[in-house]
Amino acid sequence: MAKKILIIDDDPIIVKYLTALLEDNGYSTCSATTGAAALEVVKREKPDLITLDLEMPEEWGPHFYRRMTKDPELQDIPVIVISGMAGRHAIKKAVAYLSKPFDPDKLLLTVQRAIGLPD
């Protein structure tokens, strides 16, 4: 079973790009475009890793992260922040912060370090 990555971003172009990049490299993906929807997806899908945008409508990434980490079953899922917004302080326990636009090779290396190679 391929390692699963949840992509959380309100920009459909970013979601499509990340989906293609990660799936082309052997990972399985799922996505959400709001923080509220993301919490439902993370509970249902139990991803191995999450990529998280900080600035989204309805619920910002940091608020989603705080809610997620209150759930003992979800709190240890590694998160890579991918955002155009400065805010490294917003999620202190993220495994990495990548600024948009990001280097796809750097993202893949970060994913590999966080959860390993796809099965």
**Helical pair 35-45 and 61-69, crossing angle rounded to 10 deg:** 40
Per-residue pLDDT tens over the stretch 5-63 = 999 999 999 999 999 999 999 999 999 998 889 999 999 999 999 999 988 777 778 88
β-pairing verdict for 96-99 and 79-83:
parallel
Phi/psi at 99 (5° precision): -90, 140
Strands (E), the chain: 4-8, 28-32, 49-52, 79-83, 96-99
Shortest CA distance to 56 belongs to which of 72, 33, 89?
A: 33
Domain 32-99 has CATH 3.90.1150.10: no
pTM: 0.92
Instruction: Report domain extents, the chain.
Output: 32-99
